[in-house]
Amino acid sequence: MSKIIRLTETVLRDGQQSQIATRMSTEDMLPILETLDQAGFHALEVWGGATFDSCIRFLNEDPWERLRQIRAAVKDTKLQMLLRGQNLLGYRNYADDVVRLFVEKSVQNGIDIIRVFDALNDVRNMKTSIEATKLAGGHCQTAISYTTSPVHTVDYYVDLVGRMAEFGADSICIKDMAGVLTPQTGYELVSRIKEKTDLPLEVHTHATSGISEMTYLKVAEAGADIIDTCLSSFSGGTSQPATESMVLSLEELGFNTGVDMKKVEEATAHFNGIRDKFRAEGILNPKVKDTEPKTLIYQVPGGMLSNLLSQLTEQGLADKYDEVLAEVPKVRADLGYPPLVTPLSQMVGTQAVMNVISGERFKLVPKEIKDYVLGLYGQAPAEINPEVKEKIIGDAEVVTVRPADLIEDQLPEIREEIKEYAKSDEDVLMYALFPQQAKDFLGRREDPFYDVPLQTVDVTLDLQ
């Protein structure tokens, strides 16, 4: 009997987010959705991450309407989204009432699977999302934010999976956002998790460092149930390994993927045209296709590498790039080894830049880093360097409760603020997550005299 492994296709979310800053429009997607639905994938990742923000900030689209249109076209395949736990799709913690309503409306509008992660792997920050997903009738997949450090061992992750299962996870994902999960460690980690729990296990990685295909073959051998891949049009580099290549390799090794390659080829032909359009417009930077082995050394996601270089170049300090790159792991160690995933990746990168530019470590400290050290983002994976801690917050008391317990309900105030333009709960939630962008979007929709131009200047790429 052949072994079974399923594939989740990421071209509509992580693939395009990793390579074209999430600029793919709904119009680009609609003609090929029926084909993708018939291709035999376990799920299509279509929403969450940076898609919501990009829709209203750059594309003048309603992200909820995008989801509804995709759901109308995709009849049989599960639709999946990425959610940052208590951060939802933003960069800070929201009150539980906002989280519950957002999850409820996501499922009502078409999402089947919600992949929930927390940047610190603090399961307390995932609790409300897990409960809300199950209450709404969705499937909650909790994700490990995978990284390496003296504390991030295989034992650490196996214990983490146990806690996720206790919190009510329906499945588990190893989310390797930087592409640093090596083949042998992947094999050991999957084997140990499969011994720990009978929950379905999915593996997500990026091709940045050049080892992703080898890692996928080893995790398949170890018993992973699902892997994430991307159509070759937007695969490789900072994205996932190519769907076509992985299907052919796995099938030859005796795995049954259930993927219809004729449908995949049809979909790839469509997205090749989309890719070429973005390349001609200069949005697809060839560097996102590059292999960057330094990722394995510095544990820095590929998107973060390019952002650091861009940030320094704009300030005329491109010559400081290597110095900043070397500073990143030092900052990360001082701060208790947080995984470099949104929003911690941006925070650690900014602190490294400040340390180098100021000439003194932690002389300048952003508010977000102070809040992190105070415990307002959750519990750090390891102890924060006591000297650094004192330098940043002095003798201030560190929060030990679940951070969201300190946030009162926010929906009543939010509804009042946006009542002039919001016509639905979905509109209210849009404003809750991105107040200024949503107000401008809703204002343009509701008021012909509301004259605010669309944003055209790029923002820092969202790494996940």
Give pLDDT tens digits for 16-37.
999 998 999 999 999 999 999 9
pLDDT given for residue 457 in this prediction: 47
**Cβ-based neighbour number of residue 317 at 10 Å:** 15
Distance CA(149)–CA(207), nearest Å, equals 20
pLDDT given for residue 459 in this prediction: 42
Secondary structure of residue 115 in the 3-state scheme: strand
User: 109-118, 215-224, 316-325: which range is least confident on average?
Assistant: 316-325
Distance CA(384)–CA(225), nearest Å, equals 36
Say if residue 461's pLDDT is above 70: no
Buried b (16+ CB within 10 A) or exposed e, 247-259: bebbeeeebebeb
The residues, ordered by sequence, that sit 6+ positions from 241 with a Cβ below 8 Å of its Cβ are 205, 207, 212, 213, 216, 229, 230, 235
User: 207-211, 322-326, 391-395: which range is least confident on average?
Assistant: 322-326
pLDDT given for residue 456 in this prediction: 53
pLDDT given for residue 303 in this prediction: 65
Arithmetic mean of pLDDT, 62-83: 98
pLDDT given for residue 451 in this prediction: 73
- Stretch (H or E) spanning 47: strand 43-48
Give pLDDT tens digits for 100-132.
999 999 999 999 999 999 999 999 999 999 999
pLDDT given for residue 453 in this prediction: 60
pLDDT bracket for residue 392 (50, 70, 90): very high
Judge whether 378 and 344 are in contact, CB under 8 Å.
no
Give pLDDT tens digits for 50-63.
999 999 999 999 99
Secondary structure of residue 459 in the 3-state scheme: coil
Distance CA(124)–CA(432), nearest Å, equals 22
Q: Which residues pair with 113 in a beta bridge?
A: 80, 139
Tokens representing 424? 């639905």
Cα-based distances in Å from 198 to 134, 169, 226: 18, 11, 14
**Cβ-based neighbour number of residue 315 at 10 Å:** 11
Angle between helices 127-135 and 96-108 (to 10 degrees): 40
Distance CA(38)–CA(267), nearest Å, equals 10
User: Which of 1, 70, 7 has the alpha carbon at shortest distance from 249?
Assistant: 7
Distance CA(202)–CA(410), nearest Å, equals 34
Judge whether 450 and 107 are in contact, CB under 8 Å.
no
pLDDT bracket for residue 302 (50, 70, 90): low
Give pLDDT tens digits for 340-369.
888 898 899 999 999 999 999 999 999 999
Please report where in the chains the tokens 């992580």 appear, as a residue.
14
Please report where in the chains the tokens 């800070």 appear, as a residue.
92
Say if residue 212's pLDDT is above 50: yes
Amino acid 353 reads V
Torsions phi, psi for 113 (to 5 deg): -120, 125
Give pLDDT tens digits for 258-283.
999 999 999 999 999 999 999 999 88
Distance CA(63)–CA(56), nearest Å, equals 7
DSSP states along 175-199: EETTS---HHHHHHHHHHHHHH--S
Instruction: Say how many Å lie between the first and final Cα of the chain, rounded.
Output: 37
Arithmetic mean of pLDDT, 363-376: 96
Distance CA(185)–CA(219), nearest Å, equals 9
User: Which domains, from first to last, does the chain contain?
Assistant: 6-286 (3.20.20.70), 300-400 (1.10.472.90)
Q: What is the pTM of this model?
A: 0.93
The residues, ordered by sequence, that sit 6+ positions from 314 with a Cβ below 8 Å of its Cβ are none
Say if residue 40's pLDDT is above 60: yes
Tokens representing 208? 């940045």
Q: How many residues does the chain have?
A: 464
User: 139-153, 217-231, 264-278, 317-331: which range is least confident on average?
Assistant: 317-331
Distance CA(290)–CA(339), nearest Å, equals 23
Say if residue 462's pLDDT is above 80: no
pLDDT given for residue 74 in this prediction: 98
- Asked if omega into 241 is within 30° of 0 (cis), the reply is no
DSSP 426: H
